[in-house]
Amino acid sequence: MEILAFGVQADETPLLDHAFKGHHEIRCLDVFLNEDTAPIAAGYEVISTSVNAELGPRVLEILAAGGTRMIAQRSTGFNNIDLAVAERLGMTVARVSYYSPYAVAEFAWTLAMAVNRRIVRASTRTRDFDFRLDGLMGRDMHGRTAGVLGTGKIGEAFARIAHGFGMRLLGWDIAENPECMRLGMRYVSKEQLLAESDLVTLHVPLMPETGHLIDAAALKAMKDDAVLVNSSRGGLVDSAALVDELRAGRFTGVGLDVYEAEAGLFFLDKSLQAVEDDTLARLVTFPNVLVTSHQAYYTVEAVGQIVEATVRNVLDYRAGRRSENVLVPRS
């Protein structure tokens, strides 16, 4: 059987080829799955998709009409898939429920320290042989408060690094993580966490109840000199409200690896095109904002685990097995 994989990055192709060798053939495409590209999948029983694929009702109907019966998503998040429609169409859907939490946690810290210590501005200056220190003063993280919204595996990994910095830890989640509590984390309300934290980091999934978790009111509740980091899902933050607060001169720094309207932008080269997204265009102009293109997961270890899990999901589908990765089982 040949599998069609959409949205494959150049670094991923050899990993997918190697992982599927001896099992199935795989055809890797760098284009992302959407209504325009869905017809390419005609004749493929199994396809693999990336986190920015568009898997709404219309795309799923096109896939089903073309013979696709299984979707293996190469990510943990699945908010881009209409699971109810997939089930109605008799399609099996699986995701990658786990990969290295250290990849995302370490990158979240990279963003936090980059904006805190003005690394981007300093690097730009030194390329022009401008070695002044004006405007580059940061702050010690030691002794300050880190607020972790979402204390699962990634949040825990972030908290361990914060503990190493000597920070006070506040947490917010529907369930308390004993490992975080052993680090000295105290669970509080979201409002208290935002009001007291010098660094706020997001590690929760995007669901209807977490959409715009950081909205205008939440942003106003934060300290004026706080650092905000989002390496989870773009829809957790109200981007327009964030722009308003940044225009008012608030926040020491903001690090965003995700953006709520990133589909059709991230993972693509748009450098020669006019940017139609006014909010994103404004965000990247602020000197205290660093935007990266959803790369927190992008390490050899994490991508390797994602690829291996994707192969297992396909093999399980072919064998009629069900694992914790299955979102919609085989009918």
- Which residues are designated catalytic? 233, 262, 294
C-alpha dihedral sign at 162, 164, 169, 175: positive
What three-state secondary structure class fits 272? Answer: coil
C-alpha dihedral sign at 206, 207, 212, 218: negative
H or E element, residue 328: strand 326-328
* Phi (first) and psi of residue 229, to 5 degrees: -130, 130
Region class of 229: left (phi > 0), else alpha (psi between -120 and 50), else beta: beta
**The two structure tokens encoding residue 175:** 């369930």
Could you tell me where the beta strands, DSSP code E, fall in 83-176?
92-94, 145-149, 168-172
The residues pairing with 69 across neighbouring beta strands, listed in sequence order, are none
- The amino acid sitting at 180 is C
* DSSP letter assigned to residue 55: B
> Quick check: 159 and 148 in contact, CB under 8 A?
yes
H or E element, residue 49: strand 46-49
**The two structure tokens encoding residue 49:** 């998709």
